[in-house]
Amino acid sequence: MEDAKLDAMRRDKVRRVLIYRLGSLGDMLVALPALHLAARAFPNAERRMLTNFPVNAKAPAAAAVLDHTGLVDGYFRYETGTRSPKDLLRLAWTILRWRPQVLVYLGSSRGVKAALRDERFFRLCGIRRIVGVPLTEGMQRNFYGRPTGGRDGAMGDGHLEPEAARLARNIGELGGIGEFDDPARLEDPASWDLHLTAEERAAADRAIGEVDLGSEAITACVGTKVQSKDWGRDNWRALLAAMARELPGRPLLLVGAPEESEASEFAAEGWRANGGGAVVNLCGVLKPRESAAAIARTSLFVGHDSGPMHLAAAVGTPCVAIFAARNIPRQWFPFGQQHRVVYHRVECWGCGLETCIEQQKKCLMSITVDEVMEKVREVLGTGC
């Protein structure tokens, strides 16, 4: 059983599945198709996730996305960066006592050595069937099985793979008959379904208040805690001013964390001063899933590489996203053909930096308002 694929009959008999996934809001959102695949593969199992918890928090970051989806039934706490043998043994014992029969590994790419170390740990936890551990370079890398042309990109970005696709590919053996090419059904909106509740939609409605969003409202997310992703308040203000001039009277929702409220208000002054409609600042007002319900009521999301961007993509709202080149193209782009991304590939692309001093964020700061407006027009079909 250890090396053989689990057929449908044996999957039905599996009662406990451990899912390994760390990360923040965006990391959980891009894993949705893989999580739906795991749920289909093990319909009768209790599925718990080993994931990171914020310091002193009672619930993990994953819960902000996965609550009410039915994809995960509970969580095991993992303290990011844990290296203490005592703490690791305590965690292993906790998992061992639960007696999971299968591990679905949805970890990020940290190298083959790290993956081997993780596999040994989960074997120590008594798990016999392990699916998805990236033990080869091909499973680690975001490409569709062929060379991408190296750093010069000679073969183009079409061979580069979104993270959602890499995760799904690595657990593709869980797919059903006839699903070899797309076991996670990545193009199916149901694979991204957050199963928003009536209560969450009502919370969004209360926060929006009496503003009539109609069918043409726009969502913007301008703040970020990561320096290398920050396009700058002045750029955002200029963009919202340009959008208001071309799209007068439309309502604007602002989403983000509480600490992003002031920067969002600064940017929104450009909207207000140039004929834009009512502005509703929801930064810090709603929980992530409630924010998703609000974003779902709008016709366009404009923002940077962020959790709210992935929320917008999950609920089917077209995105215009502004990306630094810190990651490879497509890896973290919003999934779907309806979205547009502005990404400048410079010689240092793929650096992974969270703070860029030497190059002064030239990949990001070279993006112009006119470029972004062109993408806005493409999505909305408003012409030039």
Q: Where are the alpha helices (DSSP H) in 31-162?
A: 32-41, 63-66, 85-98, 112-124, 137-140
* Boundaries of every domain in the chain: 8-192, 198-380
**Count of Cβ atoms closer than 10 Å to residue 223 Cβ:** 27
**Lowest-pLDDT choice from 117-126, 155-164, 339-348, 368-377:** 155-164
| Structure confidence by residue, pLDDT tens digits, 88-105 | 999 999 999 999 999 999
- Residue 331, pLDDT > 70, answer yes
- Residue 366, pLDDT > 70, answer yes
Q: Beta strands 46-52 and 74-78: pairing type?
A: parallel
Long-range contacts, stretch 9-16, CB < 8 angstroms, 24+ apart: 11/41, 11/42, 11/43, 12/43, 12/44, 13/44, 14/42, 14/44, 14/45, 14/101, 14/102, 15/44, 15/45, 15/46, 15/101, 16/45, 16/46, 16/48, 16/98, 16/99, 16/100, 16/101, 16/102
Question: Position of tokens 């972004």?
Answer: 372
pLDDT for the residue numbered 174: 93
For the segment 324-338, the average pLDDT, to the nearest whole number, is 92
Q: Residue 383's pLDDT band (boundaries 50, 70, 90)?
A: low
From start to end of the chain, where are the E strands?
A: 16-20, 46-52, 74-78, 102-105, 129-131, 218-221, 252-254, 279-281, 300-304, 319-323, 340-343
pLDDT for the residue numbered 80: 73
Q: Residue 158's pLDDT band (boundaries 50, 70, 90)?
A: low
- Residue 160, pLDDT > 90, answer no
Q: Are 195 and 70 in contact (CB under 8 A)?
A: yes
Nearest alpha carbon to residue 344 among 231, 241, 219: 231
pLDDT, greater one: 4 or 46: 46
Nearest alpha carbon to residue 109 among 355, 352, 364, 321: 352
pLDDT for the residue numbered 153: 39
Residue 164 half-sphere exposure toward CB, CA atoms < 13 A: 28
pLDDT for the residue numbered 8: 58
100: phi then psi, degrees, rounded to nearest 5:
-65, 140
C-alpha to C-alpha distance for 339 and 328, rounded to whole angstroms: 17
pLDDT for the residue numbered 179: 59
| Structure confidence by residue, pLDDT tens digits, 300-313 | 999 999 999 999 99
| Structure confidence by residue, pLDDT tens digits, 189-209 | 999 999 999 999 999 999 999
- Residue 167, pLDDT > 50, answer yes
Nearest alpha carbon to residue 61 among 359, 307, 337: 307
Angle at 30 between CA 221 and CA 32, to 5 degrees: 120
H-helix or E-strand containing 159? none
| Structure confidence by residue, pLDDT tens digits, 210-265 | 999 998 999 999 988 899 999 999 999 999 999 999 999 999 999 999 999 999 99
pLDDT for the residue numbered 145: 54
For the segment 115-143, the average pLDDT, to the nearest whole number, is 94
Instruction: Evaluate whether 8-192 and 198-380 have a shared fold.
Output: yes
Start-to-end CA span in the chain (Å): 60
DSSP summary character for residue 296 = T
pLDDT for the residue numbered 149: 45
Residue type, 254: L
| Structure confidence by residue, pLDDT tens digits, 57-72 | 777 889 999 999 999 9
How far, CA to CA in Å, does 22 sit from each of 48, 81, 106, 118? 13, 11, 8, 13
What does CATH list as the number for 198-380?
3.40.50.2000
Determine if the pTM surpasses 0.75: yes
Question: What fold, for 8-192?
Answer: Rossmann fold (3.40.50)
Question: Position of tokens 């993509």?
Answer: 313
pLDDT for the residue numbered 242: 98
Beta bridge partners of 343: 323
Report CA torsion sign: 103, 108, 109, 112: negative
